[in-house]
Amino acid sequence: MGSGSRHRYHVLVIGGGPAGMAAAARAAACGVRVGIVDDNFGLGGQIWRGATAGEIPEARRWMESAQSVNIAVLCGMRVFDQPETGVLLAEGIDDTHELHYDKLIVATGSRERFLPFPGWTLPNVLGAGGLQAMVKCGLPIHGKRVIVAGTGPLLLAVAAYLRKRGAQILMSCEQASVTALARFAVTLLRHSGKIIQGMQLKKELARVPFATSCWPLAVQGNQVLESVRIVRSGKVETLACDYLACGFHLVPNTELATLLGCQLENGYVRTDDFQRTSIPEVFCAGGPTGIGGVELSLVEGQIAGYAAGGRTAEARELFGERKKLRQFARALERTFQLRPELRGLASPETIVCRCEDVPYSCLRHHDSWRAAKLRTRCGMGPCQGRVCGPVTQFLFRWNPDSVRPPIFPVRVESLAATAGASDPVHQEVTGGH
């Protein structure tokens, strides 16, 4: 494999979001050597990436704790395979690295769920979190007309963020009904922190129209998005805009855990009280175990970190807090479940698999994900089904297939490393960075 290096840690954490940072910080507090890997160039994950983190005291605190002396921070590295038990391979900018662990904490987060509708592949139709990430990385949004659409609390967070950066938010379209949202509001009464966040968002989005039972039907434009046709409580209207920021809640990133052999339950990684998966040396926290927001990720991460570091008493003290936050996660799932009408948005020509250009008409006759993959190449492009997998699961009720390495597209040299793992030519790196 060339000049790759070998790293050894007692506790290795994959994912540098809130769950991963909390896990690394607590494992390090147990006095063991810890490594934390993330494929971005800095820690923070989806919510605290880049410049945003500096503005939020809580984010700054966790980042500082996750970069303490006995933690090696390995950013810009993506884990893509486990050639043998206790060893992972990660691809960096120009090298492949062998990561050895005694205990592993998988904190790989979640991603947005997209649904296809006519025109959804036009430029300037973006994932809500995706547009937010682009703005965080410098995309100018000042004065642009943005429609935010889909489902879930992320839409409001994104709308508020974009508005703060000067975007004109024309409308926030939420597919959930007003009744479902009213029930959700009652649940919030048990979570004072969430009420405060909700009030803050309401203030930040004052005078922005918020429509319930509302979703995009189609996007029009010549080469680039020009307008969006939406349905609002049964009535169709067309709105001209510059960007459509669209996402239908989140789906867990379970690929790495699945590759390691961890069992899933209802689509999430199954864990015990100590966040231990069905593989005894592997723990999991945050997005892959359930979609519950940043607070739940932080608590699960801390429990996993303490448990992996051997301090189960400290982990146990956090069980009560986690129980409460999981109730909130269940309420999120109930409230923002997709309505069946959304299954009818795609026309026969609408592309479902964007990587391989596979339209809806080529898929609907198949009876499984595997059959569709074999006959149409759906899910076989660079995203490896991360976008069209959840789409077809919703549209056709197909179950996703098993996961095969590499779990991300990698360079040929990195593939060669799979065969050469544990080869003595690797340079050994053991200390913290």
Ligand X SMILES: Cc1cc2nc3c(=O)[nH]c(=O)nc-3n(C[C@H](O)[C@H](O)[C@H](O)COP(=O)(O)OP(=O)(O)OC[C@H]3O[C@@H](n4cnc5c(N)ncnc54)[C@H](O)[C@@H]3O)c2cc1C
Closer CB to ligand X, 286 or 359, in the complex: 286
**Contact criterion met (CB below 8 Å) for 44 and 342:** no
Closer CB to ligand X, 45 or 309, in the complex: 45
Least distance between ligand X and beta carbon 176 (Å):
17
Q: Which residue's structure tokens are 């992320």?
A: 154
Least distance between ligand X and beta carbon 291 (Å):
7
Least distance between ligand X and beta carbon 256 (Å):
5
Least distance between ligand X and beta carbon 179 (Å):
24
Least distance between ligand X and beta carbon 305 (Å):
12
Least distance between ligand X and beta carbon 403 (Å):
11
* Six token digits for residue 114: 């997209």
Burial of 208 (0-12, 13-18, 19+ CB in 10 A): middle
**Contact criterion met (CB below 8 Å) for 24 and 13:** yes
What phi, psi does 352 have (nearest 5°)?
-105, -50
Least distance between ligand X and beta carbon 298 (Å):
8
Closer CB to ligand X, 231 or 256, in the complex: 256
| CA separation for the pair 378, 396 (Å, rounded) | 13
Closer CB to ligand X, 294 or 387, in the complex: 294
Least distance between ligand X and beta carbon 37 (Å):
5
Burial of 3 (0-12, 13-18, 19+ CB in 10 A): exposed
Closer CB to ligand X, 164 or 339, in the complex: 164
Closer CB to ligand X, 372 or 391, in the complex: 391
Closer CB to ligand X, 287 or 385, in the complex: 287
Task: Tell me, letter by letter, the H, E, C secondary structure of the chain.
Answer: CCCCEEEEEEEEEECCCHHHHHHHHHHHHCCCCEEEEECCCCCCCCCCCCCHHHHCHHHHHHHHHCCCCCEEEEECCEEEEEEECCEEEEECCCCEEEEEEEEEEECCCEEECCCCCCCCCCCCEECHHHHHHHHHCCCCCCCCEEEEEEECHHHHHHHHHHHHCCCEEEEEEECCCHHHHHHHHHHHCCCHHHHHHHHHHHHHCCCCCEECCEEEEEEECCCCCCEEEEEECCEEEEEECCEEEEEECEEECCHHHHHHCCCEECCEECCCCCCECCCCCEEECCHHHCCCCHHHHHHHHHHHHHHHHCCHHHHHCCHHHHHHHHHHHHHHHHHCCCCHHHHHCCCCCCEEECCCCEEHHHHCCCCCHHHHHHHHCCCCCCCCCCCHHHHHHHHHCCCCCCCCCCCCCCCHHHHHHHHHCCCCCCEEECCCC
Closer CB to ligand X, 101 or 360, in the complex: 101
Least distance between ligand X and beta carbon 297 (Å):
4
Least distance between ligand X and beta carbon 431 (Å):
21
Closer CB to ligand X, 58 or 341, in the complex: 58
| CA separation for the pair 298, 44 (Å, rounded) | 12
Least distance between ligand X and beta carbon 268 (Å):
12
Closer CB to ligand X, 259 or 342, in the complex: 259
| CA separation for the pair 104, 174 (Å, rounded) | 38
Closer CB to ligand X, 129 or 359, in the complex: 129
Residues that bind ligand X in the complex, under the rule CB under 6 A:
14-20, 37-40, 45-47, 78-79, 107-112, 129, 132-133, 154, 157, 250, 253, 256, 286-287, 293-294, 297
